[in-house]
């Protein structure tokens, strides 16, 4: 529930819908990350988010039922249920992807190699003490709008921070799991090593 500022019970239909879409996208990113880095911790987070998703979908259904008074309203609101259900199903399949991490087998090289060569890729970068990112917030860093890199999760010591908020502040030795283009990856590597101060 760390992802949400509000509890599902206190959210309106629109807030729930937005949260479901955000979580579903996060789950897909995390699912691929868990496979790429063979991380059970990330796979566990995908499972936890799936539970959150179930609760959100339940609250959305309740609100939709209460909001439908006329036949036309019911028809329109049924589309919200349809789309929400598709979003929930997408997250469910994300979980199917991360499930392979918990097995004993090594992940097949075709999967690993493929995940490194898609249009948008997921990568891991560790911040060194001379990196200009240290002490900066995610908002200040402008990684998304300046180099097209989205930070999905951060590993700090033994702790994981998923979907860091704008006010999240980077620390020395943070390991970032991020999504972006190959060029964004190269730039972030330089920033992480303190070899680049502007972007």
> Of 5, 113, 129, 198, which lies in the binding site for a second copy, with binding defined by CB under 8 A?
113
Tokens 């680049």 appear where?
196
Site for a second copy in 161-180 (CB under 8 A): 180
Read off the tokens for 22: 């955000």
How far apart, in whole angstroms, are the C-alpha atoms of residue 188 and residue 199? 9
Coil, strand or helix: which one is 48? helix
Beta-ladder partners of 162? 153
Site for a second copy in 8-37 (CB under 8 A): 13-14, 17-18, 21-22, 25, 28, 35
> Of 30, 46, 49, 80, which lies in the binding site for a second copy, with binding defined by CB under 8 A?
80
Q: Considering the complex, state which of residue 26 and residue 127 has its C-beta at the smaller distance from a second copy.
A: 26
Burial of residue 180 (number of CB atoms within 10 Å: 0-12, 13-18, 19+)? buried
# of chain residues touching a second copy (CB under 8 A): 54
How far apart, in whole angstroms, are the C-alpha atoms of residue 115 and residue 123? 10
Q: Which residues neighbour 150 within 8 Å (Cβ) at sequence distance 6 or greater?
A: 29, 143, 144, 178, 179, 180
CB of 30 to a second copy, least distance (A): 14
- Does 68 engage in binding with a second copy (CB under 8 A)? no
CB of 57 to a second copy, least distance (A): 13
Q: Among 39-47, 124-132, 170-178, 182-190, which window interacts with a second copy (CB under 8 A)?
A: 182-190
The answer to whether 23 and 63 are in contact (CB under 8 A) is no
Residues that bind a second copy (CB under 8 A): 13-14, 17-18, 21-22, 25, 28, 35, 75-77, 79-80, 82-83, 85-87, 89-90, 93-94, 96-97, 99-100, 103, 105-108, 110-111, 113-115, 117-120, 142, 144-150, 180-181, 183-184, 187
């Amino acid at each position: 529930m760390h992802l949400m500022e509000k509890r599902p019970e206190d959210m309106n239909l629109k807030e729930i819908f937005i949260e479901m879409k955000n979580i579903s996208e996060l789950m897909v990113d995390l699912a691929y990350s868990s496979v790429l880095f063979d991380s059970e911790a990330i796979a566990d987070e995908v499972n936890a988010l799936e539970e959150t998703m179930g609760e959100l979908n339940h609250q959305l259904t309740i609100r939709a039922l209460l909001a439908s008074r006329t036949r036309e309203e019911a028809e329109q609101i049924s589309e919200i249920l349809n789309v929400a259900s598709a979003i929930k199903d997408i997250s469910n399949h994300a979980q199917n992807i991360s499930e392979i991490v918990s097995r004993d087998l090594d992940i097949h090289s075709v999967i690993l190699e493929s995940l490194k060569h898609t249009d948008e890729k997921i990568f891991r970068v560790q911040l060194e003490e001379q990196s200009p990112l240290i002490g900066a917030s995610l908002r200040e860093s402008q990684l998304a709008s300046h180099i097209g890199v989205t930070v999905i999760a951060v590993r700090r010591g033994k702790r994981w921070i998923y979907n860091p908020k704008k006010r999240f502040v980077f620390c020395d030795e943070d390991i970032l799991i991020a999504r972006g283009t190959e060029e964004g990856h190269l730039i972030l590597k330089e920033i992480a090593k303190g070899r680049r101060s502007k972007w």
